[in-house]
Amino acid sequence: MKRFPLLLCVAAVLALTFPTSALAEKALHVYCGAGMTRPFGEIAAAFTKKTGIGMEVTYANAGQIQSQLNTAQEGDFFIAGAAEELKPVKKYVSATRDLVKHIPVLAVAKGNPRNISGIKDLGRSDLRVVLGDARATPIGKIADKALADAGLTGKVNVVSRGVTAPSIFNALNVGECDAIIVWKENVTAAMDILADPAMDAYVKTIPAATLSVSSNPGGQQAFLDFLASDEAKNIWEKHGYVVLN
Protein backbone atom coordinates (compact mmCIF):
# COMPACT_ATOMS: atom_id res chain seq x y z
CA MET A 1 0.00 0.00 0.00
CA LYS A 2 2.86 2.36 0.75
CA ARG A 3 4.15 2.02 -2.83
CA PHE A 4 0.91 3.15 -4.44
CA PRO A 5 1.45 6.94 -4.15
CA LEU A 6 4.92 6.52 -5.63
CA LEU A 7 3.52 4.61 -8.58
CA LEU A 8 0.95 7.35 -9.13
CA CYS A 9 3.73 9.95 -9.19
CA VAL A 10 5.73 7.97 -11.72
CA ALA A 11 2.64 7.52 -13.92
CA ALA A 12 1.94 11.24 -13.76
CA VAL A 13 5.48 12.09 -14.84
CA LEU A 14 5.28 9.67 -17.76
CA ALA A 15 1.94 11.12 -18.82
CA LEU A 16 3.42 14.60 -18.86
CA THR A 17 6.60 13.71 -20.72
CA PHE A 18 5.31 11.17 -23.24
CA PRO A 19 3.53 13.62 -25.59
CA THR A 20 6.71 15.67 -26.04
CA SER A 21 8.82 12.55 -26.51
CA ALA A 22 6.38 11.16 -29.06
CA LEU A 23 6.37 14.43 -31.01
CA ALA A 24 10.17 14.56 -31.00
CA GLU A 25 10.33 11.14 -32.61
CA LYS A 26 8.17 12.19 -35.56
CA ALA A 27 9.55 14.88 -37.85
CA LEU A 28 7.33 17.38 -39.59
CA HIS A 29 7.37 17.40 -43.40
CA VAL A 30 7.13 20.95 -44.73
CA TYR A 31 6.91 22.20 -48.33
CA CYS A 32 8.41 25.68 -48.69
CA GLY A 33 8.95 28.06 -51.60
CA ALA A 34 12.60 28.08 -52.69
CA GLY A 35 12.86 31.86 -52.33
CA MET A 36 12.40 31.51 -48.56
CA THR A 37 15.23 29.00 -48.04
CA ARG A 38 17.38 31.24 -45.83
CA PRO A 39 14.78 32.51 -43.33
CA PHE A 40 12.79 29.30 -43.18
CA GLY A 41 15.90 27.16 -42.78
CA GLU A 42 16.80 29.25 -39.74
CA ILE A 43 13.26 29.04 -38.39
CA ALA A 44 13.20 25.26 -38.82
CA ALA A 45 16.53 24.87 -37.02
CA ALA A 46 15.40 27.09 -34.14
CA PHE A 47 12.15 25.15 -33.81
CA THR A 48 13.97 21.80 -33.67
CA LYS A 49 16.43 23.14 -31.11
CA LYS A 50 13.61 24.37 -28.90
CA THR A 51 11.23 21.41 -29.18
CA GLY A 52 13.31 18.43 -30.32
CA ILE A 53 10.89 17.94 -33.22
CA GLY A 54 12.70 17.32 -36.51
CA MET A 55 11.92 19.19 -39.73
CA GLU A 56 12.09 17.66 -43.20
CA VAL A 57 11.79 20.63 -45.57
CA THR A 58 11.26 20.39 -49.32
CA TYR A 59 12.31 23.64 -51.04
CA ALA A 60 10.98 24.05 -54.58
CA ASN A 61 8.93 26.34 -56.78
CA ALA A 62 5.18 26.46 -56.31
CA GLY A 63 4.42 24.31 -59.36
CA GLN A 64 6.76 21.56 -58.19
CA ILE A 65 5.31 21.59 -54.68
CA GLN A 66 1.73 21.49 -55.94
CA SER A 67 2.58 18.53 -58.18
CA GLN A 68 4.39 16.66 -55.40
CA LEU A 69 1.61 17.24 -52.89
CA ASN A 70 -1.08 16.13 -55.33
CA THR A 71 0.91 12.98 -56.11
CA ALA A 72 2.21 12.01 -52.66
CA GLN A 73 -0.83 13.24 -50.71
CA GLU A 74 1.25 13.61 -47.56
CA GLY A 75 2.89 16.35 -45.56
CA ASP A 76 2.23 18.67 -42.64
CA PHE A 77 2.68 22.25 -43.94
CA PHE A 78 2.92 24.26 -47.13
CA ILE A 79 4.66 27.64 -46.71
CA ALA A 80 3.64 29.30 -49.97
CA GLY A 81 4.99 32.42 -51.62
CA ALA A 82 1.45 33.76 -51.99
CA ALA A 83 -2.03 32.69 -50.91
CA GLU A 84 -3.01 32.08 -54.55
CA GLU A 85 -0.52 29.20 -54.71
CA LEU A 86 -2.70 27.21 -52.31
CA LYS A 87 -5.65 27.04 -54.71
CA PRO A 88 -4.38 24.05 -56.78
CA VAL A 89 -4.00 22.04 -53.54
CA LYS A 90 -6.90 23.50 -51.57
CA LYS A 91 -8.41 20.07 -50.91
CA TYR A 92 -5.39 19.31 -48.72
CA VAL A 93 -5.44 22.63 -46.83
CA SER A 94 -7.22 22.49 -43.47
CA ALA A 95 -6.33 26.01 -42.26
CA THR A 96 -4.02 28.94 -43.03
CA ARG A 97 -2.19 31.55 -41.00
CA ASP A 98 -0.75 34.70 -42.59
CA LEU A 99 2.89 35.20 -41.60
CA VAL A 100 4.63 38.03 -43.44
CA LYS A 101 4.29 40.33 -46.43
CA HIS A 102 5.91 39.24 -49.68
CA ILE A 103 7.01 42.39 -51.49
CA PRO A 104 7.94 42.31 -55.21
CA VAL A 105 10.43 44.90 -56.44
CA LEU A 106 12.20 46.03 -59.58
CA ALA A 107 15.94 45.54 -59.05
CA VAL A 108 18.97 46.60 -61.09
CA ALA A 109 22.75 46.40 -60.77
CA LYS A 110 24.39 48.58 -58.10
CA GLY A 111 24.45 52.21 -59.15
CA ASN A 112 21.77 51.64 -61.82
CA PRO A 113 24.25 51.81 -64.74
CA ARG A 114 21.50 51.59 -67.38
CA ASN A 115 19.56 54.52 -65.88
CA ILE A 116 16.29 52.64 -65.48
CA SER A 117 13.67 54.83 -63.79
CA GLY A 118 10.84 52.36 -63.31
CA ILE A 119 8.85 49.49 -64.71
CA LYS A 120 7.77 51.46 -67.80
CA ASP A 121 11.42 51.64 -68.89
CA LEU A 122 11.53 47.84 -69.26
CA GLY A 123 10.09 48.31 -72.74
CA ARG A 124 13.40 49.80 -73.91
CA SER A 125 15.00 47.70 -76.63
CA ASP A 126 18.49 48.09 -75.14
CA LEU A 127 17.57 46.35 -71.87
CA ARG A 128 17.83 42.67 -70.99
CA VAL A 129 15.24 41.51 -68.47
CA VAL A 130 14.90 38.28 -66.50
CA LEU A 131 11.54 37.36 -64.99
CA GLY A 132 10.05 34.40 -63.18
CA ASP A 133 8.28 31.57 -64.96
CA ALA A 134 4.60 32.37 -64.46
CA ARG A 135 3.74 28.66 -64.63
CA ALA A 136 6.09 27.79 -61.79
CA THR A 137 6.38 30.66 -59.33
CA PRO A 138 4.20 33.49 -58.01
CA ILE A 139 6.85 36.14 -58.72
CA GLY A 140 6.56 35.20 -62.40
CA LYS A 141 2.79 35.73 -62.33
CA ILE A 142 3.29 39.09 -60.61
CA ALA A 143 5.86 40.20 -63.21
CA ASP A 144 3.53 39.34 -66.08
CA LYS A 145 0.66 41.22 -64.40
CA ALA A 146 2.83 44.26 -63.72
CA LEU A 147 4.00 44.39 -67.34
CA ALA A 148 0.46 43.94 -68.62
CA ASP A 149 -0.82 46.76 -66.42
CA ALA A 150 2.01 48.96 -67.72
CA GLY A 151 1.01 48.17 -71.30
CA LEU A 152 4.22 46.25 -71.95
CA THR A 153 3.00 42.75 -72.72
CA GLY A 154 5.16 41.40 -75.57
CA LYS A 155 7.26 44.57 -75.62
CA VAL A 156 10.00 43.58 -73.16
CA ASN A 157 13.26 41.86 -74.08
CA VAL A 158 12.89 38.93 -71.65
CA VAL A 159 16.10 36.95 -72.08
CA SER A 160 15.14 34.15 -69.69
CA ARG A 161 12.59 32.95 -67.16
CA GLY A 162 13.69 31.64 -63.77
CA VAL A 163 11.79 28.78 -62.15
CA THR A 164 12.71 29.96 -58.64
CA ALA A 165 13.31 33.37 -57.08
CA PRO A 166 17.01 32.57 -56.38
CA SER A 167 17.62 31.79 -60.06
CA ILE A 168 16.16 35.17 -61.02
CA PHE A 169 18.33 37.30 -58.74
CA ASN A 170 21.38 35.19 -59.60
CA ALA A 171 20.97 36.20 -63.25
CA LEU A 172 21.35 39.86 -62.29
CA ASN A 173 24.11 39.07 -59.84
CA VAL A 174 26.29 37.54 -62.57
CA GLY A 175 25.50 40.19 -65.18
CA GLU A 176 23.23 38.15 -67.45
CA CYS A 177 20.62 40.92 -67.49
CA ASP A 178 20.00 44.57 -66.64
CA ALA A 179 16.83 44.31 -64.56
CA ILE A 180 14.68 41.78 -62.72
CA ILE A 181 11.38 41.63 -60.87
CA VAL A 182 11.98 39.64 -57.72
CA TRP A 183 11.04 39.51 -54.04
CA LYS A 184 12.53 42.30 -51.92
CA GLU A 185 14.28 39.91 -49.53
CA ASN A 186 16.18 38.31 -52.42
CA VAL A 187 17.96 41.53 -53.35
CA THR A 188 21.65 41.55 -52.40
CA ALA A 189 24.06 44.37 -51.54
CA ALA A 190 25.31 44.26 -55.15
CA MET A 191 21.90 45.44 -56.40
CA ASP A 192 19.64 48.46 -56.09
CA ILE A 193 15.88 48.47 -55.66
CA LEU A 194 14.15 51.07 -57.83
CA ALA A 195 11.39 52.85 -55.95
CA ASP A 196 8.39 52.55 -58.25
CA PRO A 197 4.93 53.09 -56.70
CA ALA A 198 3.47 50.95 -59.47
CA MET A 199 4.90 47.86 -57.75
CA ASP A 200 2.95 48.49 -54.53
CA ALA A 201 -0.17 46.98 -56.08
CA TYR A 202 1.39 43.52 -56.20
CA VAL A 203 2.37 42.95 -52.56
CA LYS A 204 1.38 39.44 -51.44
CA THR A 205 1.13 37.57 -48.14
CA ILE A 206 3.03 34.41 -47.20
CA PRO A 207 0.70 31.92 -45.49
CA ALA A 208 1.47 28.84 -43.45
CA ALA A 209 -1.04 26.22 -44.57
CA THR A 210 -1.67 23.21 -42.34
CA LEU A 211 -2.34 20.11 -44.41
CA SER A 212 -5.26 17.78 -43.74
CA VAL A 213 -3.19 14.75 -44.81
CA SER A 214 -0.90 15.23 -41.80
CA SER A 215 -0.62 12.37 -39.31
CA ASN A 216 1.04 14.61 -36.73
CA PRO A 217 -1.53 17.15 -35.43
CA GLY A 218 0.43 17.63 -32.22
CA GLY A 219 3.54 18.57 -34.17
CA GLN A 220 1.50 20.88 -36.38
CA GLN A 221 0.19 22.79 -33.37
CA ALA A 222 3.65 23.01 -31.83
CA PHE A 223 5.02 24.57 -35.01
CA LEU A 224 2.09 26.98 -35.33
CA ASP A 225 2.79 28.12 -31.77
CA PHE A 226 6.45 28.64 -32.66
CA LEU A 227 5.58 30.63 -35.80
CA ALA A 228 3.61 33.01 -33.57
CA SER A 229 6.58 33.51 -31.24
CA ASP A 230 8.87 36.54 -31.13
CA GLU A 231 11.80 34.26 -31.96
CA ALA A 232 10.29 33.27 -35.32
CA LYS A 233 9.16 36.83 -36.08
CA ASN A 234 12.63 38.18 -35.38
CA ILE A 235 14.11 35.71 -37.88
CA TRP A 236 11.70 36.84 -40.59
CA GLU A 237 12.52 40.50 -39.89
CA LYS A 238 16.27 39.83 -39.92
CA HIS A 239 15.91 38.56 -43.49
CA GLY A 240 13.99 41.65 -44.66
CA TYR A 241 10.38 40.52 -44.33
CA VAL A 242 7.55 42.62 -42.86
CA VAL A 243 5.81 40.59 -40.15
CA LEU A 244 2.02 40.60 -39.96
CA ASN A 245 0.80 40.98 -36.38
**What CATH code is carried by the domain that includes residue 69?**
3.40.190.10
Mean per-residue pLDDT, 176-201: 93
How many CB atoms are located within 10 Å of the residue 115 CB?
Answer: 9
Angle between helices 37-51 and 230-238 (to 10 degrees): 160
Q: Are residue 196 and residue 211 in the same domain, yes or no?
A: no
Same domain membership, residue 209 and residue 97: yes
| Residue 213 binned pLDDT confidence (cut-offs 50, 70, 90) | very high
Containing domain of residue 165, as a range?
104-202
Query: Does 224 share its domain with 139?
Result: no
Q: What is the DSSP letter of 200?
A: G
Question: Are residues 63 and 11 both part of a single domain?
Answer: yes
Task: Kindly tell me the sign of the dihedral angle through the C-alpha atoms of 39, 45, 49, 52.
Answer: positive
The pLDDT of residue 121 is above 50:
yes
pLDDT band at 185 (very low <50, low <70, confident <90, very high): confident
DSSP state of 145: H
- Helix/strand/coil percent split, the chain, to 5: 45, 25, 30
Both 88 and 44 in one domain: the answer is yes
* pLDDT(6) > 50: no
- pTM value? 0.79
Most distant pair of Cα atoms in the chain: their distance: 91
Q: Would you state the pLDDT for residue 20?
A: 43
Mean pLDDT on 144-150: 97
Of the candidates 170, 187, 202, which is a domain's last residue? 202
Q: Is residue 157 located within the same domain as residue 224?
A: no
With beta carbons less than 8 A apart as the criterion, state whether 25 and 17 touch: no
Q: Residue 21 — pLDDT band, cuts 50, 70, 90?
A: very low
In this structure, how many other beta carbons lie within 10 angstroms of the beta carbon of residue 88? Answer: 15
pLDDT tier at 3 (50, 70, 90 boundaries)? very low
Same structural domain, 125 and 139 = yes
Judged against a pLDDT cut of 60, whether residue 18 lies above it is answered with no
Tally of domains in the chain: 2
Of 162-166, 173-177, 234-238, the range with the lowest mean pLDDT is 162-166
Please report, for residues 38, 59, 164, 172, 191, the alpha-carbon distance to residue 65 in angstroms, rounded to integers and kept in the order given. 18, 8, 12, 25, 29
The answer to whether residue 14 scores a pLDDT higher than 90 is no
Residues 110 and 183 in one domain: yes
Same domain, 224 and 174: no
How far, in whole angstroms, is CA 187 from its chain's centroid?
15
93 or 240, which is more confident: 93
Please indicate, yes or no, whether residues 92 and 208 belong to a single structural domain of this protein. Answer: yes
CB 200: neighbour CB atoms within 10 A?
10
Residue 188 pLDDT grade (very low, low, confident, very high; cuts 50, 70, 90): confident
Together in a domain, 9 and 98: yes
91 and 209: one domain?
yes
pLDDT for 63 equals 92
Residue 91, amino acid: K
First to last CA, the chain: 55
